[in-house]
Amino acid sequence: MSELLFDVNLQQLPDEYLTGEWTVADRVLNHTDPSTALAQATLFRLQPGLMEIQTPELQDQGSWTVERDALLNRPYLELQLAAEKTRALVTRLRRSMDGQRSQLNLYFQSGMELLLSQPSY
């Protein structure tokens, strides 16, 4: 990626910066069960209140919301699928000046880490 990306202040992160189609660029499972849909996801589609994920073998949908902790105002994603409910801390969001390219780092309760990128190819 040759385009420069800038860090977004997570305490002032607008929820709409998280919407759109995200490709899983990298993942670290740590102690996460590799058979779960989230651990196998290759694509996330986040629209207001609606989440779709794709894995090599299935497509699933559910809901998502942004919650913030009271002390530091850090954003968490609450993700709900039919068979899975979890929470992921947004640890970093980087965007291009024009907002056309983004990278999103998520750290899940299970220890899994995902690097998501936009646009999806």
List C-alpha distances in Å: 108 to 1, 57, 98, 99: 26, 22, 29, 25
Report, as an integer, the average pLDDT of 100-113: 96
Residue 120, C-beta contacts closer than 8 angstroms, at least 6 positions apart = 21, 22, 23, 43
Query: Per the domain annotation, does 1 fall within a domain?
Result: no
DSSP lists the bridge partners of residue 60 as: 53
Range of the domain at 57: 19-118
Q: Would 9 be classed as within a structural domain?
A: no
Q: Confirm whether 5 is domain-assigned.
A: no
Residue 13 falls within a domain, yes or no? no
Reported pTM: 0.92
Q: How many domains does the chain have?
A: 1
CA-to-CA distance for 104 and 95, rounded, in angstroms? 9
Q: What is the pLDDT of residues 35-70, one digit of tens each?
A: 999 999 999 999 999 999 999 999 999 999 999 998
Q: Is residue 7 part of a domain?
A: no
Residue 80 to residue 112: CA distance in whole angstroms: 16
Q: Given a cut of 70, is residue 120 above it in pLDDT?
A: no
